[in-house]
Amino acid sequence: MFHRLQILVHRKFRILAFASFLLTFLIHMLLGLVPTVHRTSDDSCPCPPMAELFPLGKNHHRLQAQHRKQTLRVLQDFSGSNGSAQKTSQSLEQIVDTRETSWQVPGNSEAGRERGTLKTVNYTGSKLTALFKHPLYLIPTPPLADGDRLFTVNSKERFTLKSSGSEEWVQAGEKFILPTGDTTYDTYPTWLKFHIGINRYELYSRQDSLIPQLLKELCTQKIIATVQKPGGTQLKLVMSLQNFGQALFKPMKQSRYEETPADFFYFSDFERHNAEIAAFHLDRILDFRRIPPVAGRLINMTKEIRDITTDKKLAKTFYISPANNVCFYGECSYYCSTEHALCGQPDQIEGSMAAFLPDTTLAKRQSWRSPWRRSYHKSKKAEWEMNSDYCVHVKKTPPYDHGTRLLDLIDMSILDFLMGNLDRHHYETFETFQNDTFLLHLDNGRGFGRHSQDELSILAPLHQCCRIKKLTYLRLQLLATETYRLSDIMRESMAKDVLAPILAEPHLAALDRRLRIILHIVQECLRKEGDKNVLGSTDTNSQGT
């Protein structure tokens, strides 16, 4: 009896020991399968790992990024094509050999869609402030001589309602408060001071304290009249403000988190309100200062458009949607129909407010056709797309045969490449300054459409001419450093806008990637042509600075 009991106890012990070993093994297996959890610095909550990065493939034009499902948009019949937007020529593709790089861009993640969830940047102080205090941003402009200012101001003339020529804006019951001050200049509204400050070398100065005030007024001043801007392919509104200034309003047509579909031609793309805002900030950060100030604004479509417009054609296009939202579509060449109506939530809509330049009756502007204009034709390509020596011809053609006009045009192509804007067919200058002045970078709404594609053909002027302003090159190098990273500077600059975030994070990542591409092309030019032939003059007495 005792022997049987002893055998039973030993048998149960072996079973328990085996079960314990099996349980321990299973626990270790389960722990190995559990993903690592990242925690914040205060260890208060677990955070998901960083979103997967999508590396650039061998063909630089195609990133393996996930595309969000796009809203269906009916394409119009255009008398042009993407003939000039085909994949960049083989010679251009060879400039940036992606095998030698490890550039990456985040996919179009759902994260960070809500306002206030901007990607955090680990640095102390303001990178934007530090940038504008850098020696490269403190180089003075040439002293202004007679004829270098756009306007000559009568020092005895005070700004009054009568002198403004805006009596027709006054409505019954409205009260207008005009600026007052000790000097005549104090009586001028901010927009007029902005106009007075325009000169041969710049649209506004680097440290101009008027710009923050002007941006604030664009998004806060009471709107007293709204009409549709005539012409153009898409709807734009001219809004008159209480201080007698005017702004060009472009309503939101596409979410900032949507990419332009790959099958869209560059000339059939929407004009994005956030692109106009971002273009102003980018232009300022590059120290070009050739885009008029632009700010975001949330508009009440009922009170600030429909109820105050004198444009009967515009008023007739308002309606209430089945979702009980206020909608309108206006009249224009293409995207003005019920299929492309602009609807509020229920009557609030985002948009960009761009400060007006002086009226052309006071300051005439000359429009110039870009030598690198795209064909806008279904089957034909532009000459520059077929002739790698095209720049040789441009250099011999006025006004590109002297001065800094060609270098200014290359500056503009750099700006457009960073934004991904293929639609730069013309540019303007103030006529009074003739050929020796800066170029106006207007109509930037078709930028920032695709963060997953870098269209190298935009850089054809830089690649074919192998020329760049020395100061532009030095500033680009500065913005490629960790301390002054372009994406961080842009994020900080745009964070002050009332509609922030202005750009989705993948677009900011694309800025850094495209900046490296530009620097790579310049370095190749320097290697082939030498500093003297590539870098333009930095003489502060010339407009080439």
From the list 488, 454, 130, 424, the residue with the least C-alpha distance to 291 is 424
Q: If DSSP states are collapsed to H, E and C, what string results for 134-151?
A: CHHHCCCCCCCCCCCECC
In 212-343, beta strands by DSSP E: 223-228, 237-241, 246-251, 294-300, 319-320, 326-328, 342-343
Q: Is residue 444 a contact partner of residue 276, using CB atoms and an 8 Å limit?
A: yes
Angstrom distance (rounded) from CA 108 to CA 156: 57
496 is in an annotated binding site: no
Structure-token pair, residue 123: 């640095």
237 is in an annotated binding site: no
500 is in an annotated binding site: no
Residue 148 annotated in active site: no
Q: Which residues contact 305 (CB under 8 A, 6 or more apart)?
A: 226, 237, 299, 314, 328
234 is in an annotated binding site: yes
167 is in an annotated binding site: no
271 is in an annotated binding site: yes
Distance of CA 180 to the CA centre of its chain: 36
Alpha carbons within 13 A on the beta-carbon side of 195: 19
- Write down the residue that tokens 């790698």 correspond to: 388
From the list 484, 485, 481, 474, the residue with the least C-alpha distance to 508 is 485
354 is in an annotated binding site: yes
Structure-token pair, residue 484: 């002054």
Angstrom distance (rounded) from CA 370 to CA 59: 28
CA distances from 202 to 137, 191, 429, 447 (A): 14, 16, 11, 23
Report residue 278: phi and psi, to 5°: -65, -35
127 is in an annotated binding site: no
428 is in an annotated binding site: yes
Q: Which of 423, 454, 497, 512 is catalytic?
A: 423
Is residue 498 packed enough to be buried (19+ CB in 10 Å), middle (13-18) or exposed (0-12)?
Answer: middle
Angstrom distance (rounded) from CA 354 to CA 247: 5
The catalytic residues are: 423
Residues in binding site for ATP: 234, 250, 271, 354-357, 428, 443
Q: Report the binding-site residues.
A: 234, 250, 271, 354-357, 428, 443
- List residues forming the annotated binding site for Mn(2+): 271, 443
